[in-house]
Chain A
Amino acid sequence: MKDLNISIVIALVKKNFTLKYKQTLLGFLWSLLHPAFFLLIFIAVFSSIFKTVENYPLYVLSGLVFFLYFSEATNRLSGIFIKNSHMIKNYGLSKITYPLAEIGSELVTFLIGLVPFMIIMYFMGMNIHFHLLYLLPIIILFTIFTFTVGIILGSLNVFFRDIGILWITLSPALFYMSPIVYNYEIIPEKFKLFIAMNPLYHFLIIIRDVIYLHQAPQLRYVGICLIITSVTTLIAILTYRKTNNSFISNL
């Protein structure tokens, strides 16, 4: 990447972070309340249905915080070049600066939010075990996956504004297509393949291995997640390379 200036990225991460909850009364608390509200709803609605799922609140919460991170970050990234059109047109900075700063501030929000959620999950029955250290590489991989999906959406959205709207529309569908509030076993056999085609499904498995099942992530699914991320990275690089020089005339 030419002219990528890390200190500018860091400055923009700080800016995004400051702006995110500016003019709200509760400020950063929102990044905790948002998943908490979801969680309460799901516990109230579904916990009696999914009696077979042991420790249902922990099951939901472990999937939910990661899904919301993915969903929020990709939604923001899908509009990132459009939002920064003024900057792109008038500063000679590498265009990748803006999405990098965005994923940076989302990651910081997610990581800070993870601390209280870890405490809540501890009280829900999560073991504090050295297996939790596996979360670190998982979060890195998940963030790369999220970022590259965002880059693909963001680049295409410059040319077809439908992409952004479509993504926001699809987001709830993706939520229910992922085993977050239900477990994979209840899915009828003929639809299982359909669910397994959802990349998030595989990430959820390795996340739950660590947080919910207190074990090392299954290598098979780690492998699948690595392949998925390599594919999205490759597509993201190709899409961005092909389109980024034409951003200016379409922004």
Chain B
Amino acid sequence: MENVIKLENITVSYLQNRQGLYSVKDLLLKPSFKTPYNKQIILKNLSLNVCKGETLGVFGPNGCGKSTLLRVIAGIVKPDEGIRKINLPVSPLLALGAGLENELTGIENIKLLLILSGNFRKENRAEILENVFEFSELSSADLKKPVKMYSTGMLARIAISSILVTEPELLIIDEILSVGDAGFQNKCKSRIHEIINNGTTFIFVSHIIDEVMEICKRGICIKDKNIIFDGSIKEAANVYQELFH
């Protein structure tokens, strides 16, 4: 199988503000002023290869670097060291509400999300929009309201629908599926299955183990800045649960 994600000895660090130093006053008065920023390592020497069409579930305790790993893959965070090669366009769905503009209507926001994700090509705009409207199951009256009047679930419907109606090549979803109601969740899951069957590579982060096991075949578990297990999803889930015993 063709290798589409290749991470080799990736190290990612963040410059972290020293505690309590948020202003010029602190910079001048605190003894630590010479180095107001600490380097904190989030991922260290991490390597990961993913083949085309693979479905990868990512487990790990809070704050272990799961989201950072996804951001490295999506090209949002640049690793300090190591090699990153991604051979597919990435469709990231990392946080609810990113890119949504409160004052704009549902329709305007959907258009914006489609443009941002590069999925709004001139040829079939009307068709794509219609598909998003239909998938989201929001009424046309709701779609014309500014999204500041939306509930969290409705926001999730807009964000998720805008990605799922397209044919993503590399889909990355971080947690957010669980916001919708049971009906919408099932709809999303069956659409994700459909996308995967069409050959999409899929990376999924969630703390709902059953949800991940249902969709993904391969699993990794992250702890202490690196991957501590890489194998079948079932074993990965076991390793993950063992962490808490």
Give residues 12-54 of B contacting A (CB, 8 Å): 14-17, 22-25, 27, 37, 40
A7 on the B face (CB < 8 A): yes
B192 on the A face (CB < 8 A): no
Say yes or no: B76 contacts A18, CB within 8 Å: no
Contact of A91 among B14, B15, B92, B101 (CB under 8 A): B92
Say yes or no: B27 contacts A91, CB within 8 Å: no
Say yes or no: A87 contacts B23, CB within 8 Å: no
Nearest-Cβ distance from residue B98 to partner chain A, whole angstroms:
4
B118 on the A face (CB < 8 A): yes
Say yes or no: B95 contacts A250, CB within 8 Å: no
- Contacts A18-B104, A19-B103 given; indicate if A248 touches B94 (C-beta within 8 A): no
Give residues 86-100 of A contacting B (CB, 8 Å): 86-93
Say yes or no: A248 contacts B115, CB within 8 Å: no
The residues of A that contact B118 with a CB separation of less than 8 Å are 5, 8
Residue in B closest to A95 when the chains form the complex, CB atoms: B76
The residues of A that contact B6 with a CB separation of less than 8 Å are none
A11 on the B face (CB < 8 A): yes
The residues of A that contact B94 with a CB separation of less than 8 Å are 89-90
Contact of B23 among A11, A23, A162, A245 (CB under 8 A): A162
Residue in A closest to B24 when the chains form the complex, CB atoms: A162
The residues of B that contact A162 with a CB separation of less than 8 Å are 23-25
- Contacts A87-B98, A87-B99, A91-B116 given; indicate if A248 touches B104 (C-beta within 8 A): no
Say yes or no: A245 contacts B98, CB within 8 Å: no
**A3 vs B71: C-alpha distance when bound (angstroms):** 16
Say yes or no: A161 contacts B76, CB within 8 Å: no
Main secondary structure of the interface of A (DSSP, over half): helix
- Contacts A160-B27, A161-B22, A162-B23 given; indicate if A86 touches B14 (C-beta within 8 A): no
- Contacts A160-B23, A246-B14 given; indicate if A11 touches B115 (C-beta within 8 A): yes
The residues of B that contact A248 with a CB separation of less than 8 Å are 14, 71, 76-77
- Contacts A15-B104, A90-B98, A160-B23 given; indicate if A250 touches B76 (C-beta within 8 A): no
B78 on the A face (CB < 8 A): yes
A249 on the B face (CB < 8 A): yes
Say yes or no: A250 contacts B104, CB within 8 Å: no
A22 on the B face (CB < 8 A): yes
Q: List 27 A-B contacts (CB under 8 A).
A: A3-B75, A7-B115, A11-B116, A15-B104, A18-B104, A19-B103, A86-B95, A86-B98, A86-B99, A87-B98, A87-B99, A88-B76, A89-B71, A89-B95, A90-B99, A91-B92, A91-B98, A92-B74, A92-B75, A159-B37, A160-B22, A162-B25, A246-B14, A246-B15, A248-B71, A249-B15, A249-B16
A contacts, CB < 8 Å to B: 3, 5, 7-8, 11, 15, 18-19, 22-23, 86-93, 159-162, 245-246, 248-250
Additional A-B contact list (6), CB under 8 Å, known A5-B118, A8-B116, A248-B71: A18-B108, A87-B98, A87-B99, A89-B71, A91-B116, A92-B76
